[in-house]
Amino acid sequence: MLLETRNLTKRFPGVVALKNVCFGLKAGEIHALCGENGAGKSTLIKLLSGIHPHGSYEGELLVDGSVAEFKSIRDSEAQGIAVITQEFALVDELSVAENIFLGREPRLGWRIDWHKLRRRSAELLAEFGLPLSPDTLVGDLGVGHKQLVEIVRAMDKKSRVLVLDEPTAALTEQEVAVLLKHLRRLRSQGTACIYISHKLDEVFAICDRITVLRDGASITTLTTREATIPQVIKNMVGREITDLFPRKPSTTDRSAEKPVLTVRGLDVAPDKGTKAFLRGLDFELRPGEVLGFGGLMGAGRTELLMHIFGAWGSRICGDVSLRGEDYAKPQPRDSIRRGLVLVSEDRKRYGLVLGQDIGFNFSLSSLKSFSGFGGRIDTSAEYARNQHFFDSLRVKAPNQQARAGGLSGGNQQKIVIGKALMTEPTVVMLDEPTRGIDVGAKLEVYELINRLTAEGKAVILVSSELPELMGMSDRIIMLCEGKIGGVFNRAEFTQEKLLAAAMGKSSSAAA
Amino acid sequence: MNARVLLKSLSMPIALALIVAFFALREPAFLGARNLTQLIIEFSIIGTLALGMFMILLTGQIDLSVGSGVGLIGGIAAVLVFHEGWSAPAAMGAGLVAALVLWALMGTLIVKQRIPSFIITLGGLLIFKGIFWKVISSATVPVSRGDEENLFSLLTTYYLPANIGLGLAFATSLVLGWLVWRAREKRIDYRLPVNSTGRETLFWVVKSAAIFGLVVVCNNFRGVPLSLLILGATGVVVYFLTKHTPFGRYLYAIGGNEEAAVLSGIAVNRVMIGAYVLMGVTVAITGFMSTAYIGSSTTTVGDLLELDAIAACVIGGTALKGGRGTVLGVLFGALIMTALLNGMGLLGVEPEIKYIARGLVLVLAVWLDVKLSRS
Amino acid sequence: MNARVLLKSLSMPIALALIVAFFALREPAFLGARNLTQLIIEFSIIGTLALGMFMILLTGQIDLSVGSGVGLIGGIAAVLVFHEGWSAPAAMGAGLVAALVLWALMGTLIVKQRIPSFIITLGGLLIFKGIFWKVISSATVPVSRGDEENLFSLLTTYYLPANIGLGLAFATSLVLGWLVWRAREKRIDYRLPVNSTGRETLFWVVKSAAIFGLVVVCNNFRGVPLSLLILGATGVVVYFLTKHTPFGRYLYAIGGNEEAAVLSGIAVNRVMIGAYVLMGVTVAITGFMSTAYIGSSTTTVGDLLELDAIAACVIGGTALKGGRGTVLGVLFGALIMTALLNGMGLLGVEPEIKYIARGLVLVLAVWLDVKLSRS
Amino acid sequence: SKGKPVIGLSLDTLKEERWQRDRDTFVARAKELGAEVIVQSANSDDTKQTRDIESLISRGVDVLVVVPHNGSAVSRAMKSAKEANIPVISYDRLILNSPVSYYLTFDNVKVGEAQAQYVVERLPKDRPARIVRIYGAPTDNNAKMFKEGQDNILNPLIKAGKIEVVFEDWALDWKPDVAKKIMNAAITKAGTNIDAVVASNDGTAGGAIQALREEGLAGKIIVTGQDADLAACQRIQGGTQAMTVYKPLKNLATRAADVAVAVVKGEKIETAAELDNGAVKVPSIFEKIISVDKDNLQSTVVADGFHSAESLK
Ligand SMILES: Nc1ncnc2c1ncn2[C@@H]1O[C@H](COP(=O)(O)OP(=O)(O)OP(=O)(O)O)[C@@H](O)[C@H]1O
Ligand SMILES: Nc1ncnc2c1ncn2[C@@H]1O[C@H](COP(=O)(O)OP(=O)(O)OP(=O)(O)O)[C@@H](O)[C@H]1O
Ligand SMILES: O[C@@H]1[C@@H](O)[C@H](O)OC[C@H]1O
Ligand SMILES: [Mg+2]
Ligand SMILES: [Mg+2]
């Protein structure tokens, strides 16, 4: 075994994140880690890479059959282990080239060998087909490109073991394909790889073996060739899941009802005086409807949602109206007051106050509804309401006093969703709501969407996963470079059509 | 784990007790009624300012201008009383208005123009000092004309009559009891865990005893100083604001993650300007008290007070990067600072040693806090 | 867009030019060789310290202790020379060692114990001040015995002979030319856009002319001050470090995203301690220069210098939250500060107005920076 | 009551040599008289001085001896002293607008006069002389009195056009570095043909001389001072400073200790003069001052044991 763990146990205050985990990585294999949110996947790889140093866990970690005691990530890198963590490890203030070589700059004596640095990174970028200049500041890149820069960096470390924690969460299908191609190449060159993803089709496309974690314990290790997706899911969640996208379009006919959100001729620029980024957007949203937005990375879906919500961009022209009322100067506060909420795709940055507890985050947008005389918050009422959401969203944490920062990615996502729902909105905009959450939790989100629409609420769903988008939307609008590339009713959904629209080669144009 | 939590919650009382014990042993007069009264007055001044600073720090900002602001606002009121012949309340009202305007302005610049608060308030420090000296013409301006007393001069020289002090203690202890009881009922209503009645009563008795003890000590000298009442009122208001209102929650949220606060529908700009305006109010109150304390406005009033206020907050467990801290902690921090300064003053410690001791206590306190809160 | 970039890159030269013009009009002596030489010496002192502060700010930390550190280290050297009869180089060596030890210690506490630098260095401010006064017994300790000159006292009183100054200017301008030319070749290699040869030459001629002009002006008085050379050397070292070595890039990386730096395998602790050690070195150099400037170590040496250093960095576009800033900007910032202080001193401006002007310039400069860099 | 008299000594600052000497002499003398002294130094901060005095009262001192940072800013503390029935002696600097039992000082106006007189006697008579004036801390009442003394001598000559003041400024808190910057500005503005610098004390003189030294002018221009600090006496010996005003601190401090103990014992002290401080007429004692230059350095400062001959070499 190249890398092996024996009875690894890792405790956090109030949580046992890993329980006697046994895991082995063979040379030259791609080995997937699967499990629900909070199962302990990220924790496991943090131990393997020295981010949680030796001494902070029980059990043994072996490299090439001998016990390794990593004090920091430097020690694991010295042993040829490279990691891409779930959170970005990039410095916005430095250039792409500098980020790729951060911590291992080529040197000329004391100095950095700028020449080599730039040349090598230009080559690497070209190899990955990334149209980026090595001199671009990373801060100017979008999420997807950042992810790719991280991957380029890790790949270039020429390590024996490459660990990727949800590397494709922010990538488009094409980019995923490129990534998988490179992983296969590395495997053929003898590099072993640990691959974490909630996208099981990816896992099945590339991995040799799959280890499933559940509640911190290693449940089983399967050989991919002999396994099936339902089997993996069953191991993950401990029960059978049959219908992956249980969209139940609302039964009551609401086509006669007035749209709750109308957007007409909308042009938006990132800043005053800059060029429009979103152009000529026209659509409406009816009660009980799920309107999906798809598109390639950078198509402007996030920008659109953020703009309607009032957090981004400067409107050049066009009108937005909410429940028939003109909404010209959007502000997050006003939006929430008018029943429009947004669940952002970047929960760490825009969603949570990580240092505060779960309850604090749940009620943050709804405090006014708990305050009575003199603005005093009725803490008991607040507590009860929080508990309701805590229970109904099945948050995996000891109690609502647990710190939000200590939760796994998926559970954090639930907190953000809960916060939005607590404001009792009529229009819910979900930006990649299932990004990084496990199958079970995804199902819960889908059911939530169904429940919302059944109550007559309207949902906008942004997703980069076409199956999800098609499975859950009543209607889909594909965006392409800030413009509408095509509008499709449920009956017309096919991957081909949608993709063509996303790339601006739309033939159809439903109204 | 539990032991550590207990230790952490007791670390400040213990530190305070150690400091008090040290000085009491070295100089019995430290615990004398007269000195304790002095200490309380000094505590009221630093504590009030620290409470304002606390709200600013919660949002992750800072305010370096409060020391010279204290000088300026006290100076404005003194000049109006002494040179212009205004009545004390009117003059103090004018000072308060000036403070509100200045701090609203600084808050607006920080929030709307996105200039770091460190810079704006450092600029404020310099500018206010300059204006201050202009206002009092670098001279010494008494807080009252002749030898008469007015509301201004009484701020730090008026003591409550003994009976009123006792009455207040009684009332406070009753209110405390009622609040505890009500909170308990509510918790029971919502099926939350509660302390046993015995324990709850014990806590209440201990707290009430402390309050009565304090009043009795003060009565041994001249009575409860008015300034303590001012601090108490400020403390209650800030406690209520930060603990029980959306505004207070927003302060924590902004300090924790400003972007998330915006997207959660918090009017971040308005809340932050609000925090600065409240800071302005405490600056004004502190300005009146500390000017009254030395009886006149002179060029050095308020010097370095910003550091004392920040130190009090930080010693009391408020995080400089925002999002963490409590009113009780801040008051403890201020008390520790004051006890230290007062004790060293009483012993006639040389200025050199005073500086070193202040530095050491600051570092030690924060180090302890870091050690104990690391989980 | 382009106009804005140009404006931004020119904003500091323009601000400087405006300040210079203002004072020159009010008082022609401002541009006299004598005053410019004075200004250069004052600039060297603030500039050197600001360069050290710059590296600390890059990492997102701060150092409030440098002012009292400057006093302390200068004081140690002065006491060793005057009271103990050490030779100046030995005494300065001892001072340097003391600085290295103290700053390594502070850096370690900040990094290893995770105590915020604001607190550690605020503690340092107080502690160093106390030790400083103890060291010099709150007296005045000359930097040399009797009226003799030594290396220490010469730091701010030695001027290079005219020819050497010119020779240096010549050499600098040649090196500059070579660097520009080499950089251009490289850019062509990489197919990056380059300026036309004519333009590049023009820039080089302008810069060289400025250097020669400076030397000629200095020679009109007594020659290029030694202290400018010290600043120059420090500047070159810091420039090289921050621009061209991994250490320097790590400073930016840590300030930009500390977690990412850790995950990239950067020895964050070691780099940060390194930054504090380098800060210690510049504190020592500044300590020697500013003590030599007054001719003796007195209790007020270094007072508020930390604020000047921070202000210079911030005016020069260094971000307080880390990750952004350049050496050239810092030097410009220091020059603006010095010109302002010197000019006001020359006009005999009242202290009140001095405070107000300093505050306003600080706020204005940062406001401009914020305005112009918002894209 | 308790047998041993306890004296509280509240100083503005100890950051100048003279005040350390005042303290040492005072404490030594008090000991001789069987009294205990508690010393406080306020670091040039009025609020701190108020606190210091409050502390001394809390400790139950029998008498207070105060060197105010700012004579009119200690009124509140004086009130506390009065309420606690503790007599106050104002030392060197006068406490204004408050009841004070005694005031011991050197004649501050005379100090200023001595400084100016020394300069005037040595200025060129054939042309208008050019002088620079560096005043003390604007917050120090003494500084104003020094200036008043200097004005007494200089103003008539200035009016008559015989003296031109080419630059003048106040040195905040008596800081030497401020004085140096003032001197630099003066030279820049007025050139090097300056005949004299009337600096108000030795600290500021030191700052000014540093500027002159860098200009190569040290020793060529008359510089005055006051306090006979060691560094200043060395400069006088070396020729870079012309004069200082020697205030036999020993006399003042000893006398003050005597008075303090006498007050505690309830004895009456004879005083020759009275000064109006705005509230009361304060019985005052003036110690003599001596104008010192190179010629009489040995016979005054050294002979008095103020500095050893050794230390001046
Ligand atoms: N730093 C921490 N402090 C406290 N608890 C933590 C910390 N890191 C992880 N945990 C807990 O450990 C458990 C495992 O978390 P981990 O991040 O490994 O899950 P994961 O399998 O990667 O989930 P996801 O798919 O959501 O990323 C969770 O319950 C989480 O709350
Ligand atoms: N806050 C912002 N300010 C300026 N530019 C932005 C901002 N956010 C995103 N951008 C720019 O907008 C482009 C698209 O960003 P992003 O990738 O988030 O788009 P998207 O359509 O939401 O795609 P996806 O949701 O799949 O990531 C990027 O090029 C990015 O640089
Ligand atoms: O002796 C001087 C004293 O009288 C004055 O008050 O402060 C400065 C001293 O130099
Ligand atoms: Mg994870
Ligand atoms: Mg997006």
For residue C71, give how far its alpha carbon lies from the nearest alpha carbon of chain B (Å): 14
How far does A203 lie from chain B, in Å, by closest CA? 33
User: Which CATH superfamily, name and number, covers A3-237?
Assistant: P-loop containing nucleotide triphosphate hydrolases (3.40.50.300)
Cα of A9 to ligand 1 centre, how many Å?
A: 13
Q: Report d(CA A7, CA A393) in Å as an integer.
A: 32
B1 confidence band (pLDDT: 50, 70, 90): very low
Is residue C96 within 8 A of residue C312, CB to CB? The reply is no
* Domains of chain C, residue spans: 15-161+223-374, 162-222
pLDDT at B374 over 80: no
Picking from D45, D58, D77, the nearest residue to B300 by CB comes out as D45
How close is the Cα of A504 to the center of ligand 2, in Å?
18
Task: Tell me whether residues B348 and D38 touch, CB distance under 8 A.
Answer: yes
Closest ligand 2 atom number to CA of residue A170: 27
Comparing CA positions, the residue from B320, B323, B314, B313 lying closest to residue B258 is: B323
Q: Which of C119, C133, C366 sits opposite B115 (nearest CB)?
A: C366
> Residue A143 C-alpha to ligand 2 middle, in angstroms?
7
pLDDT of residue A509: 44
Architecture of domain B15-161+223-374: Orthogonal Bundle (1.10)
- Residue of B119, B352, B363 with shortest CB distance to C123: B363
Secondary structure (H, E, C), chain D: CCCCCEEEEEECCCCCHHHHHHHHHHHHHHHHCCCEEEEEECCCCHHHHHHHHHHHHHCCCCEEEECCCCCCCCHHHHHHHHHCCCCEEEECCCCCCCCCCEEEEECHHHHHHHHHHHHHHHCCCCCCEEEEEEECCCCCHHHHHHHHHHHHHHHHHHHCCCEEEEEEEECHHHCHHHHHHHHHHHHHHHCCCCCEEEECCHHHHHHHHHHHHHCCCCCCCEECCCCCCHHHHHHHHHCCCCEEEECCHHHHHHHHHHHHHHHHCCCCCCCCEEEECCCCEEEEEEECCEEEEHHHCHHHHHCCCCCCCHHHC
Does A110 contact C at CB distance below 8 Å?
yes
pLDDT at D284 over 90: yes
| Residue of B362, B369, B371 best to disrupt the C interface, most CBs of C under 10 A | B362
**pLDDT tens per residue, range D56-70:** 998 899 999 999 998
CA nearest ligand 2 atom 16, residue: A298
Residue D311 has pLDDT above 90, yes or no: no
Ligand 2 closest atom vs CA A462: 25
Cβ-defined contact of C266 to A94 (cutoff 8 Å): no
ipTM of predicted complex: 0.84
Residue B364 near chain A (CB below 8 Å): no
In this structure, what token pair is assigned to residue A361? 């985050």
What pLDDT does A15 receive?
Answer: 76
* Facing B134 at nearest CB: one of C129, C311, C352: C352
Number of helical (H) and strand (E) elements in chain A, helices listed first: 17, 22
Q: Is some CB atom of chain C closer than 8 A to the CB atom of D220?
A: no
> What pLDDT is recorded for position A466?
84
Chain B residues inside the 8 Å CB shell of A342: 263
CATH architecture, domain A245-339+425-510: 3-Layer(aba) Sandwich (3.40)
Quickly state the pLDDT bin for C3 (edges 50, 70, 90): low
Please give the distance, rounded to the nearest whole angstrom, from the Cα atom of residue A189 to the centre of ligand 3: 84
Structure confidence by residue, pLDDT tens digits, C352-368 = 898 899 899 889 888 88
Cβ-defined contact of C348 to D169 (cutoff 8 Å): yes
Higher pLDDT, D206 or C9: D206
Give me the residues of chain A with pLDDT under 50, please: 508-511
**Each residue's pLDDT tens digit, C42-96:** 999 999 999 999 999 999 999 999 999 999 999 999 999 999 999 999 999 999 9
**Cα A42 to ligand 4 centre (Å):** 4
State pLDDT tens for residues C209-257: 999 999 999 998 889 999 999 999 999 999 999 999 999 999 999 999 8
Inter-chain touch C122–B359, beta carbons under 8 Å = yes
Ligand 3 contact, D174 CB (< 6 A) = yes
Inter-chain touch A88–C255, beta carbons under 8 Å: no
Average pLDDT over residues B141-150: 87
- Any CB–CB contact under 8 A between B375 and chain A? yes
d(Cα B141, Cα B156) in Å, to the nearest integer? 17
In this predicted model, which residue has the larger pLDDT, C310 or C8? C310
Q: pLDDT at position A508, please? A: 47
For residue B50, give how far its alpha carbon lies from the nearest alpha carbon of chain D (Å). 18
Structure confidence at residue C129 (pLDDT) = 94
Closest by CA position to C255, among listed C63, C56, C60: C60
Ligand 3 atom closest to Cα of residue D200: 10
**pLDDT score for B215:** 94
| Centre of ligand 3 from the C-alpha of residue D204, in Å | 11
- Provide the token pair at A480: 């392409």
CA distance, residue A361 to nearest chain B CA (Å): 9
Tell me the shortest Cα–Cα distance from B179 to chain A, in angstroms: 14
Q: How far is C148 from chain B (nearest CA, A)?
A: 31
Of B32, B35, B300, the CB nearest to D47: B300
- Of the candidates D261, D263, D267, D225, the residue with the CA atom closest to the CA atom of residue D246: D225
Ligand 5 centroid from CA A294, angstroms: 10
B82-138 pLDDT per residue, tens = 999 999 999 999 999 999 999 999 999 999 988 889 999 999 999 999 999 999 988
Average pLDDT in the B58-70 region?
96
Chains A and D share 3 or more Cβ pairs within 8 Å: no
What does pLDDT average to over chain B? 92
Determine if the pTM surpasses 0.90. no
CB-based touch D/B (3+ pairs, under 8 A): yes
For chain C, what percent of residues have pLDDT higher than 70? 98
Q: Where are the domains of chain A?
A: 3-237, 245-339+425-510, 356-422
What SS3 state is found at C154? helix
- Ligand 1 centroid, distance to A443 Cα (angstroms): 20
Reading phi first (left if > 0) and then psi (alpha if -120 to 50, else beta), residue D206 is in: alpha
Residue A272's pLDDT is what?
Answer: 83
Q: Do A352 and B260 make contact, defined as CB atoms within 8 angstroms?
A: yes
- CB-nearest partner of C356 from B127, B353, B366: B127
DSSP codes, B280-310: HHHHHHHHHHHHHHHTEE-TTTTTTHHHHHH
Q: For ligand 1, atom 4, name the residue with the nearest CA.
A: A406
Nearest C-alpha to atom 6 of ligand 3 is from which residue?
A: D142
Kindly state the tokens that stand for D272.
Answer: 């020759």
Whose atoms come closest to the Cα of A350: which ligand?
2
| pLDDT digits 0-9 by tens, D188-210 | 888 889 999 999 999 999 999 99
CA of A100 vs chain C CAs: smallest distance (Å):
9
Query: A24 forms bridges with which residues in the sheet?
Result: A4
The per-residue pLDDT for range C109-168, each reduced to its tens digit, is 999 988 889 899 999 999 999 999 999 988 888 898 877 889 999 998 899 999 999 999
Cβ contact (<8 Å) for B189 and A380?
A: yes
CA of C258: which chain A residue's CA is closest?
Answer: A91
CA distance A199 to A244: 12
Instruction: Give the one of A72, A111, A271 whose C-beta lies nearest to C244's C-beta.
Output: A111
Helices (H), chain B: 2-26, 33-58, 66-82, 88-112, 117-135, 151-154, 162-189, 197-221, 226-244, 246-256, 258-263, 268-294, 305-315, 327-347, 351-373
Residue A511 is predicted with a pLDDT of 36
Per-residue confidence (pLDDT) for residue C1, from 0 to 100 = 43
Report phi then psi at B192, rounded to 5: -95, 155
Which residues in A lie closer than 8 A to residue C263 (C-beta atoms)?
51, 73, 83, 85, 89
Mutate to test the pocket of ligand 3, among D227, D245, D289, D292 (most ligand atoms within 8 A of CB): D227
Output the residue whose Cα is nearest ligand 1's atom 10: A406
Q: Which residues surround ligand 5, an ion (CB under 5 A)?
A: A 302, 345
Distance A144 CA to ligand 2 centre (A): 9
Calculate helix-pair angle for B33-58, B327-347, nearest 10 degrees: 140
Pocket of ligand 3 contains residue D173 by CB under 6 Å: no
Residues of C numbered 273-302 whose beta carbons fall under 8 angstroms of chain A's beta carbons: which are they? none
The predicted structure's pLDDT at residue C5? 65
CA–CA gap between residue D40 and residue D65 (Å, rounded): 10
